Amino acid sequence: MSTISVSDLKKQSPKEWLKSAGKDDVVITSKGQPVAVLLQIQATSVESTRALVRSVRALQAQSALQQAAVTSGASKLSMSDVDAEIAATRRRARRRK
């Protein structure tokens, strides 16, 4: 997988970067941080590729939430603790109205 910065990408003609993208996936960076991935796909697989990307993003979000729960200790709460927290939050919200 090759890497190219946004500024370098702007300097190349579209034909040049499409040619390089056809050989390998390209990670696009901005200020040294990855911001996008340019993937070669078949014209007939655009929607299925987009669906796969959405699935991967959902899995990444789920993983981040699970890690945050472990870090905060929320993963150790019992169901009755969760129910009590929800009830307390609802009571506070009703008082604000």
What b/e string do you get for 21-38 counting C-beta neighbours within 10 Å, with b at 16 or more? eeeeebebbeeeeeeeeb
pLDDT at 25: 84
The CA distance from 21 to 1, in Å, is 9
Alpha-carbon gap, residue 64 to 45, rounded angstroms = 29
What ranges do the domains of the chain cover?
Answer: 2-96
pTM of this structure:
0.63
CA 48 to chain centre: 17
pLDDT band, residue 20 (cuts 50/70/90):
low
Question: Closest Cα to residue 10, out of 30, 24, 25?
Answer: 30
* pLDDT, tens digit, 9 for 90 and up, residues 34-71: 999 888 888 899 999 999 999 999 999 999 999 999 99
Query: How would residue 2 be classed by pLDDT, with cut points 50, 70 and 90?
Result: confident
